Structure 1
Amino acid sequence: MTSRSYLRAFRHRNYRLYFSGQSISMVGAWMTRVATSWLVYRLTGSALLLGVVGFAGQILSFVLSPIAGVLVDRWDKHKLLIWTQILAMIQALIMGILVLKNAITIEEIIVLSVLQGMVNAFEMPVRQSFVVRMVNDKADLSNAIALNSSLVNLTRAIGPSVAGVLIAVVGEAWCFLADAISYLAVLTSLFLMRLEPDTRKPSAHSGLIAQMREGWRYVVGFAPIKTILIMLGISSIAGMSYPTIMPIFATRILHGAPSTLGLLLGSAGLGSLGGALYLASRKTILGLGRIIPKAAAFSGLALIAFAYSHVVWLSVLMLFLAGFGFMVQVASTNTLVQTVVEDDKRGRVMSFYAMAFVGTAPFGSLITGAVAARFGAPFAVSLGGVGCLLGALWFARSLPTFRNGLRPIYIQMGILPDPASIAVPEAAAH
């Protein structure tokens, strides 16, 4: 496939601006994630508190996402996205100043993590649904989503590695301060956009609760979206919480330093980038349903192998493979949901996507931290890998119903041919 096919979403000016701004901002965001986990472990040495901080940073994405989805459908997505970036920049700046002054406590880390979780509860659904505003041609939508995933995971490969070096040389504070500065890039890109007025809004007479119920009924009543989001939630709880206790693997099991932590998380990011590029190379969404359980099982097996590795190179390789599998599953889910969802419900549906992907993660973080504190980090991660395998088996058995639900929509959208249009006329058959 040519580079033009890989990058066809770049034909849209607004998307190019957004991509360039986010490429800087997300490096800073990943630096903050690594710095936070290392800071917590340095201050407390507790696997349980690593889980508690992870829980605090993500639980509001679960609680507030349904409300956020309704408001995203009601409000101007462009302005809302700008405000989420400003608030996230303030949070990172406060973290950096407190750490630089050696004045931060675990309680303050938890409070600031809750604040960031509140921002993320709005930022994720608005960012996901805003892609349609930047990419006007739906034929380029799947490519834009795959490129977004590539961006997230390229920065996920770079950010932890840079954070590991910065922490070792000058301390965690400069990771937070660099993150705060990096938000200026995405804010600049958002201010430079030229957008058509957003006319896709739900009816004004519907109340907040009524629209939440409407979104919930749509998700629960449409079997393909319900099934795919349940699968995403299983993978998030079982297999995506391992970064919470990664400082334990870097220090106690692999006998490394902050740079080792950056190497481990960076390898998972590179694997995820490979998964996103693989999906970007696909010309059609057909077949993604079969790919999802295979990807979940693949990442589960890689996590189990990583859990019991005591060699750095093998651990790095297994996290690379786990990252590849996870990203193929997540990006496939995102692409399918964004393709089939009705435009006037996009924000609400993507809020449920955020609940399944990010909102369930705090429960996984808390469980992983508690299990690691009681039975050890390797057992906690391997248990998550087993959960991924069981989820993949369940989804594979649900595939016939999943396909039957999507087929009429694919026919309506022209992705699949209409059987009536290709049937041989009765008169011609004689």
Structure 2
Amino acid sequence: MNSSVFRSLQSHNFRLFMSSQIVSMTGIWMQRMATVWLVLSLTDSPFLSSTNDFASQVPILVLGLFSGALVDRIDKRHLIQATQFMLLLLALLMSFLTLSRYATYPIILAISIVLGAINAFDMPARQACISQMVDRPEHLANAIALNSAVFNLSRVIGPTVAGFIVAGVGEGYCYLLTGIAFIAPIYALSVMRLPPQRAPERRVNVGESIREGLAYVAGNGHLKIVLLLVCAVSFLGMPIYVTFSAFVKMVLKEDASFFGLVLGGVGLGALSSTIHIAAAPNIRGLPKRILWALILMGIGLTAMALIRNRWVLIAMAMLVGGGLVYSTTGCNTMLQTFISDAMRGRVMSLYVMAFSGFAPLGSLAAGIIMNRISIVGAIFSQGAACFLMALIYLCAVETLDRNIDRIYGR
């Protein structure tokens, strides 16, 4: 059983967490797909769509250091329950505004900013809490990969279902279902039997706590490499949700149901990647596999810019999703293996800042390219930049391999 893909599910708390994540993350992906399509329908502007994506994620970049220090100081379970309840209220508000036809671009933009601020605290807390839910430390890497697998399974289900709901009855019902879905993690966390969170060995103010976290990363070169790679992958890869929506609606002239299928392809490739990581007994060889993932992402993006066949596009979307998620999940797994528990909240907040905070900058850049050059040009540029990123990362693979060998005593 120890070599099983699902070995971390032996832990009762982690099973509860995974069950609730499937429900809530499916709702989140439905909401994200509905928002992208709603903004495009209201404005007919890829640039305004990318600006809204920027607004929903830039608070994570601004608040990330503070939220990481907070996560290491307070009870993570209560923090996650509070943020999930606030996300529930926002989803229901969007449902009401959309169904009553009061939703306008400025209102959506304001709600997106609030959503990003809540996620700035929710995401690092959920990442840091995983280690408390797994009974055996050697199962942590598997738990991280399975958590990502659930995230990406929901990425397959959520947009695909949302595409048909939007095409059939409108975006408002996607938001309603998302609000209901947030009940699952709130309940699951309330019935978990988690060990009490240990207080920090010494009490320091938030500013000092932030400085300690930054100094910890600055003093470990392998952590800097991983975080910089996540920044680059997020900047180049995460804007696909903006560029692909514009590509489907304005270049291919397809409806929301086909956009859902494209995002489902991204999610299917991503799910395959996370299962591959989860099946590995440890993280040996992971840096080299991440290199190949970056190359595959570049191939998928450049091919999508040049091809118009529907089914080939979905296949290329699978390559993009697989490469994108293999690299980010691999980086997450390496980070959580490298860091100490005392620094987990602060380092994972930096990961979330890199993963979600640089995505809006990439979306803004993609929006400018789509507005001034073309939608196809933006996607092709993303693919070409992935090849350059892989070439630069090649220089760091040996350093990461050496650090992993030290961990396993080789």
Q: Answer yes or no: same fold by TM over 0.5.
A: yes
5 Å-filtered alignment, 1:4-403, equals 5-199=4-198, 201-403=199-401
5 Å-filtered alignment, 1:412-427, equals 415-417=408-410
Residue deviations 1:120-175 (CA, integer Å, cap 9, x gap): 11111110010011002111111111111110111100000110111011100000
Residue deviations 1:22-47 (CA, integer Å, cap 9, x gap): 11111110000000000000000001
1: distance between equivalents of 2:77 and 2:51?
33
2: distance between equivalents of 1:342 and 1:348?
10
Residue deviations 1:352-378 (CA, integer Å, cap 9, x gap): 000111110010011111111111111
Residue deviations 1:261-308 (CA, integer Å, cap 9, x gap): 100111100100000111111111111111122211211121111122
Tell me if the contact between 1:239 and 1:381 (Cα under 8 Å) persists in the aligned partners: no
The one-letter amino acid of 1:361's match is: A
Instruction: Please tell me the root mean square deviation across aligned C-alpha atoms, in Å.
Output: 1.3
Tell me if the contact between 2:72 and 2:343 (Cα under 8 Å) persists in the aligned partners: yes
TM-score of the aligned structures, taking structure 2 as reference length: 0.97
2: distance between equivalents of 1:232 and 1:4?
28
The one-letter amino acid of 2:228's match is: I
The one-letter amino acid of 1:207's match is: N
Residue deviations 1:380-416 (CA, integer Å, cap 9, x gap): 11111122211111111122333344444x0xxxx23
1: distance between equivalents of 2:203 and 2:277?
40
1: distance between equivalents of 2:115 and 2:189?
20
Query: How many residues in Structure 1 have an aligned counterpart in Structure 2?
Result: 410
Deviation at 1:3, TM superposition (A): 9.9
Deviation at 1:202, TM superposition (A): 3.0
Residue deviations 1:194-237 (CA, integer Å, cap 9, x gap): 111111x4344311111111111111221111001101111110
| More moved, 266-275 vs 305-314 | 305-314
2: distance between equivalents of 1:300 and 1:375?
20
Question: Which runs of 4 or more aligned residues in structure 1 lie more than 6 Å from their structure 2 counterparts after TM superposition?
Answer: none
2: distance between equivalents of 1:213 and 1:21?
34
Q: Matched residue of 1:6: which SS? A: coil
Q: Matched residue of 1:74: which SS? A: coil
2: distance between equivalents of 1:162 and 1:88?
20
In structure 2, the CA distance between the partners of 1:406 and 1:5, relative to structure 1 (3 Å rule), is: closer
Tell me if the contact between 1:276 and 1:327 (Cα under 8 Å) persists in the aligned partners: yes
TM-score of the aligned structures, taking structure 1 as reference length: 0.93
1: distance between equivalents of 2:218 and 2:320?
29
2: distance between equivalents of 1:255 and 1:238?
25
Deviation at 1:245, TM superposition (A): 2.7
2: distance between equivalents of 1:276 and 1:148?
9
Match of residue 426 from structure 1: none
2: distance between equivalents of 1:202 and 1:384?
43
The one-letter amino acid of 1:416's match is: G
Gaps of 5+ in 2: none
How many percent identity over aligned positions? 37
The one-letter amino acid of 1:351's match is: S
2: distance between equivalents of 1:214 and 1:297?
35
1: distance between equivalents of 2:175 and 2:202?
41
| More moved, 40-49 vs 326-335 | 326-335
Q: Matched residue of 2:380: which SS? A: helix
Gaps of 5+ in 1: 418-430
Query: Larger Rg: 1 or 2?
Result: 1
The one-letter amino acid of 1:144's match is: A
Tell me if the contact between 1:372 and 1:380 (Cα under 8 Å) persists in the aligned partners: yes
Tell me if the contact between 1:51 and 1:368 (Cα under 8 Å) persists in the aligned partners: yes
